[in-house]
Amino acid sequence: MSKLEQFRAETRAWLEDNCPPTMREPIRSFEDLYTGGRNPEIKHPDQQLWCERMAARGWTVPHWPREYGGGGLDKEECKVLREEMERINARRPLESFGISMLGPALLQFGNEEQKLEHLPPICRGEIRWCQGYSEPNAGSDLASLQTRAEDHGDHYIINGQKVWTSYADKADWIFCLVRTDNSGSKHEGISFVLFDMASPGVSTRPIRLISGSSPFCETFFDNVKAWKRNRVGEEGKGWAIAKYLLTHEREMISGFGAAPKKSLGEAALETLGADASGRLGNGILRHTIAQYQLDALAFAATMSRVGDEAKAGQGLGAASSIFKYYGTELNKRRNELNLAIGGEAALGWDGEVYHGGATSRDWLRSKGNSIEGGTSEVQLNIIAKRVLGLPD
Amino acid sequence: MALVLTEEQVMLRESAAGLLADRAGVAQLRALRDAGDELGFSREVWQDIAAMGWPGIAIPEAYDGLGYGYTGLGLVLEQAGRHLSPSPLQSSVLVGTTAVHALGTEAQKQALLPSLAAGELLVSLALQEGVQHAPEQTAMAAVPAGDGYTLTGDKILVLDALAADRFVVIARTSGSAGDTEGLTAFLVPADAAGLTVERRSLVDSRGVGALHFDGVQVPADGVMGEPGRAWAGLGRTLDIANIGLAAELLGLATEAFERTVAYLQERKQFGKVIGSFQGLQHRAAELFAELELARSIVLQALQAIDADDPELPKLASAAKAKLCEVAQRATNEGIQMHGGIGMTDEYEIGFFIKRARVAQHCFGDYNYHLDRFARLSGF
Ligand SMILES: Cc1cc2nc3c(=O)[nH]c(=O)nc-3n(C[C@H](O)[C@H](O)[C@H](O)COP(=O)(O)OP(=O)(O)OC[C@H]3O[C@@H](n4cnc5c(N)ncnc54)[C@H](O)[C@@H]3O)c2cc1C
């Protein structure tokens, strides 16, 4: 047996023994994901148990180094673990901005002390992070942000406002872009700092989304103290870190472009029935679903191809922008098709007959995918300028 | 007929815009939604609307209506779309009244149309059974009993079901699902024994309901027209309903678009108004061109109703399909071009996308009507 085969056998046995049956049931909505934190939102007690068991092996973030709480697995082993989890429909034990955004930035730019302090609690699901980037006047033009950090020796005093901060009211810590210097160009003088959301002077106001839930907030800083040792990278050089983190955020969001397990074509046949030749009766709907499925297939193939090329050392320029743009547009198309297929049932908002409006609420939420993490227009600008070399 | 509005029609449009903006705008819709209002509209506002005579716009003078025709009603519906005004203008004035007129006996018309014209009576159509609009698939059974019938089965997506005084119920007296023959329309009072009306909550916060018929008795005078022959009258009702909804969607899409263009002129990023970015300018300009086409097809279809144009079914599907397409695009762009603020409930643009999809779906969505348009065009 090769080493990898042995790893697969062991992994399979361990998962069989340790993954609770409830954690093998499909996730019904976003809300079913376990996000950890000091005050975790627990939908099922097994979520915590499953997270603890996986974290003990470093498998909440299998590709991070062991010394920081990860699993230390290489790409091949990660793939095996993923496949074995999929085999039994095991849920991912933990989802968080710490894993998908801050972690990669700290691994790249953080000092040893910062990595040791912040990464293990992310892996264990103990600290939940939020992202303090956008401000009322700094959205697409993120670099024009104005939240000020004043130098007080070993710490900063922070004043200003962020907006659209997802889960700010539930997060324990924030990674935040602040202005430490106003004298140069807007890309200079930005610093990347970490601080505790329980610090005096931090307040949040939840904002309701069109989908009815309130995942994001206005976040206010009134003389908030942040230690300089929690600044990542040099003072005033935070823009490069901010952008690096965004590429990871964009890759994470592109994941929404993945096609559902049950294809839309299948779902449509189930809901609407077939004509005498076994096809979907409405040719227009059939055409639109086919277009979607074809693009989703090509999108998945592109993700794999670019992944393989990256391993071979060839990079596709601005890959994260292409994926972010295409993946989120695909997800919006999928959600519109869910409405077209589901008809009256998909338009429900409340009540048991409509499963609490799961379909329409997901559809509305999907509209935000092409806005959060940098809008579609911003991604297209990046492709046009950085990849195609078109002038400003 | 020239594709321009008469002076009288322009005045009607202006007065509709005034009243609806003032008394039944997005703020009122939000208040009704947040209060969990059972009906989904305000009876008081409905009385003001009735006082303007709008419920009788399309009803002939012989039945105490204004006899202005559907072009006039279309103008009012367009304004209702602009302001997202919740009222029985769609359920009862557009659909219910047309059903009574197209399917009812002379006695039924004389009994109902005058009070419909006065806005005192509300009638709603009970048609849909499955998740999609498919009128010929109607399966609900109407079994002869005495000199009338007994109805058993379920209907969904009945507009303003909780407010309606009567329902025009489409059921099957012969044949089987899929046949256009064998459908019969019945007039059923809302308080009929064996009928339960259940409120349903859709994404647009308007009043809709599901009806459950458990052996509901309909006497002979509740049968509308000749048994088994409702298809033609139902078809006309649906064509008119879809043109009316297209008019509503025209107003809705135009308003969403204008609000978005206003935002492009106001929001600044990178030191300029975002409307100065050509990527957004071209999309807005394209949408403007689409809206112009949409306006024309809606007016042509409305005039076709009043002119008894034999092409009405094709024009109805053309208007509905086009407006589904344009309203979907206008509302999607509306959110996208607003960025983060467009995703918030506090901001009003989201109300437009929600109402749009429900109006798009009612009586057949884009896919249904584009397919029907192709078939009626002979290919
Ligand atoms: C669901 C959701 C969750 C979010 N979570 C977070 C979070 O956790 N933390 C955080 O910091 N932020 C978060 N955001 C904010 C998000 O990053 C911003 O909304 C986004 O960057 C756009 O900024 P804006 O909202 O100010 O829109 P604007 O920048 O004002 O954009 C308005 C419109 O103008 C367009 N536009 C702007 N500039 C150009 C240009 N040069 N060329 C062409 N078009 C242009 C945009 O694409 C958009 O269509 C979230 C947003 C959403 C919707």
Q: Which two tokens stand for residue B262?
A: 């206003």
Using the Cβ of B377 and the Cβ atoms of chain A, whether some distance falls under 8 Å is answered with no
Residue whose token pair is 């018929």: B213
**CATH number for the domain that contains residue B323:** 1.20.140.10
- Report the pLDDT value the prediction gives residue A1, as an integer from 0 to 100: 76
- Cα(A137) to ligand 1 centroid in Å equals 10
Q: Where in chain A is the domain with CATH 1.20.140.10?
A: 241-387
| Residues of chain B found within 8 Å of residue A336, distances taken between Cβ atoms | 328
CATH code reported for the domain at A129-236? 2.40.110.10
- Given a cut of 80, whether residue A310 has pLDDT beyond it is no
- Report the pLDDT value the prediction gives residue A61, as an integer from 0 to 100: 97
Cβ of B277 within 8 Å of Cβ of A208? The answer is: no
Q: Show which of B99, B121, B143 is a domain's final residue.
A: B121
Cβ of B367 within 8 Å of Cβ of A345? The answer is: no
Q: Which residue of B has its CA nearest to A342?
A: B131
| Residues of chain B found within 8 Å of residue A348, distances taken between Cβ atoms | 200-203
Considering only the beta carbons, identify the residue of A208, A272, A380 that sits closest to B345.
Answer: A208
In this structure, what DSSP letter does residue A36 have?
-
Is there a single domain that holds both residue B99 and residue B159?
Answer: no
What is d(CA B337, CA A228) in angstroms, rounded to the nearest whole number? 38
Task: Output the ligand 1 site: residues, CB below 6 A.
Answer: A 130-134, 139-140, 164-166, 216, 368, 371-375, 377-378, 381; B 267, 269-270, 274, 277, 279-280, 336-337, 339-340, 343
Is there a single domain that holds both residue B11 and residue B112?
Answer: yes
Q: Report whether A345 contacts B245 (CB < 8 A).
A: no
Cβ of B270 within 8 Å of Cβ of A210? The answer is: no
**CATH number for the domain that contains residue B193:** 2.40.110.10
Is there a single domain that holds both residue B184 and residue B272?
Answer: no
Can you name the CATH fold of A3-109? Answer: Butyryl-Coa Dehydrogenase, subunit A; domain 1 (1.10.540)
CA geometry: angle B266, B271, B274, nearest 5 deg: 40
What is d(CA B78, CA A219) in angstroms, rounded to the nearest whole number? 40
Q: Where in chain A is the domain with CATH 2.40.110.10?
A: 129-236
Count of other CB atoms within 10 angstroms of residue A77? 18
What tens digit of pLDDT does each residue of A30-82 get?
A: 778 899 999 999 989 999 999 999 999 999 999 999 999 999 999 899 999 99
What is d(CA B276, CA B283) in angstroms, rounded to the nearest whole number? 12
Catalytic residues of A: 249
Is there a single domain that holds both residue B222 and residue B245?
Answer: no
Is there a single domain that holds both residue B251 and residue B175?
Answer: no
What is d(CA B282, CA A41) in angstroms, rounded to the nearest whole number? 45
Using the Cβ of A342 and the Cβ atoms of chain B, whether some distance falls under 8 Å is answered with yes
Interface test with B, best of A335, A338, A347, A361 (most B CBs within 10 A): A347
- Report the pLDDT value the prediction gives residue B1, as an integer from 0 to 100: 63
Cβ of A351 within 8 Å of Cβ of B200? The answer is: yes
In a domain, B158, yes or no: yes
Number of domains within chain B? 3
Is there a single domain that holds both residue B195 and residue B296?
Answer: no
- Cα(A145) to ligand 1 centroid in Å equals 13
- Cα(A374) to ligand 1 centroid in Å equals 6
Taking alpha carbons only, the member of A100, A71, A91 closest to residue A10 is A71
Is there a single domain that holds both residue B218 and residue B272?
Answer: no
**Can you list the residues of chain B whose pLDDT is less than 50?**
none
CA geometry: angle B126, B112, B192, nearest 5 deg: 50
Taking alpha carbons only, the member of B101, B85, B114, B67 closest to residue B18 is B85
What is d(CA A54, CA A59) in angstroms, rounded to the nearest whole number? 5
Q: Where in chain A is the domain with CATH 1.10.540?
A: 3-109
Q: Show which of B96, B121, B146 is a domain's final residue.
A: B121
- Given a cut of 90, whether residue A267 has pLDDT beyond it is yes
In a domain, B81, yes or no: yes
Is there a single domain that holds both residue B33 and residue B83?
Answer: yes
Considering only the beta carbons, identify the residue of B268, B361, B367 that sits closest to A347.
Answer: B361
Q: Report whether A122 contacts A61 (CB < 8 A).
A: yes
Using the Cβ of A360 and the Cβ atoms of chain B, whether some distance falls under 8 Å is answered with yes
Taking alpha carbons only, the member of B91, B129, B126, B133 closest to residue B367 is B133
- Report the pLDDT value the prediction gives residue A316, as an integer from 0 to 100: 58
Probe ligand 1: pick from A137, A140, A243, A248, max atoms within 8 Å of CB? A140
In a domain, B2, yes or no: no
Using the Cβ of B202 and the Cβ atoms of chain A, whether some distance falls under 8 Å is answered with yes
DSSP A105-135: HHHHH--HHHHHHHHHHHHTT---EEEE--B
Using the Cβ of B132 and the Cβ atoms of chain A, whether some distance falls under 8 Å is answered with yes
Q: Which residue of A has its CA nearest to B157?
A: A344
- Report the pLDDT value the prediction gives residue A17, as an integer from 0 to 100: 97
- Cα(B323) to ligand 1 centroid in Å equals 28
Q: Which residue of A has its CA nearest to B202?
A: A348
Taking alpha carbons only, the member of B292, B196, B212 closest to residue B253 is B292
Considering only the beta carbons, identify the residue of B132, B201, B353 that sits closest to A343.
Answer: B132
- Report the pLDDT value the prediction gives residue A318, as an integer from 0 to 100: 81
Yes or no: is domain A241-387 CATH 1.10.540.10? no
Cβ of B340 within 8 Å of Cβ of A134? The answer is: yes
- Given a cut of 90, whether residue A313 has pLDDT beyond it is no
ipTM of model: 0.97
Residue-range definition of the domain harbouring residue B199: 124-228
Is there a single domain that holds both residue B204 and residue B95?
Answer: no
| Residues of chain A found within 8 Å of residue B271, distances taken between Cβ atoms | 141
Average pLDDT for A113-138: 98
Using the Cβ of A331 and the Cβ atoms of chain B, whether some distance falls under 8 Å is answered with no
Residue minimizing CA distance to atom 16 of ligand 1? A372
Q: What percent of chain A has pLDDT over 90?
A: 87
Q: Report whether B230 contacts A100 (CB < 8 A).
A: no
Q: Show which of B101, B121, B141 is a domain's final residue.
A: B121
Is there a single domain that holds both residue B139 and residue B163?
Answer: yes
In this structure, what DSSP letter does residue A101 have?
I
Radius of gyration of chain B (CA): 21
Q: Which two tokens stand for residue B350?
A: 């989201």
- Given a cut of 70, whether residue A317 has pLDDT beyond it is no
- Cα(B289) to ligand 1 centroid in Å equals 27
Using the Cβ of A285 and the Cβ atoms of chain B, whether some distance falls under 8 Å is answered with yes
Residue minimizing CA distance to atom 40 of ligand 1? B277
What tens digit of pLDDT does each residue of A204-247 get?
A: 999 999 999 988 999 999 999 999 999 999 999 999 999 999 99
Cβ of A339 within 8 Å of Cβ of B205? The answer is: no
In a domain, B1, yes or no: no
- Given a cut of 80, whether residue A312 has pLDDT beyond it is no
In a domain, B164, yes or no: yes
Confidence of residue A311 (pLDDT cuts 50, 70, 90): confident
In a domain, B252, yes or no: yes
Q: Considering chain A, what is the average pLDDT of its residues? A: 95
Cβ of B200 within 8 Å of Cβ of A332? The answer is: no
- Report the pLDDT value the prediction gives residue B209, as an integer from 0 to 100: 98
Cβ of A208 within 8 Å of Cβ of B340? The answer is: no
Probe ligand 1: pick from A102, A134, A324, A362, max atoms within 8 Å of CB? A134
Using the Cβ of A161 and the Cβ atoms of chain B, whether some distance falls under 8 Å is answered with no
What is d(CA B322, CA A123) in angstroms, rounded to the nearest whole number? 51
Give the range among A179-193, A255-269, A355-369 with minimum mean pLDDT. A255-269
Considering only the beta carbons, identify the residue of B156, B269, B343 that sits closest to A209.
Answer: B343
| Beta carbon pairs, A and B, within 8 Å | 123
Is there a single domain that holds both residue B251 and residue B347?
Answer: yes
Q: Which residue of B has its CA nearest to A359?
A: B203
| Residues of chain B found within 8 Å of residue A162, distances taken between Cβ atoms | none
- Report the pLDDT value the prediction gives residue A31, as an integer from 0 to 100: 72
**CATH number for the domain that contains residue B33:** 1.10.540.10
| Residues of chain A found within 8 Å of residue B339, distances taken between Cβ atoms | 139-140, 371, 375
What tens digit of pLDDT does each residue of A283-292 get?
A: 999 999 999 9
Is there a single domain that holds both residue B369 and residue B253?
Answer: yes
What pTM was estimated for this model as a whole?
A: 0.96
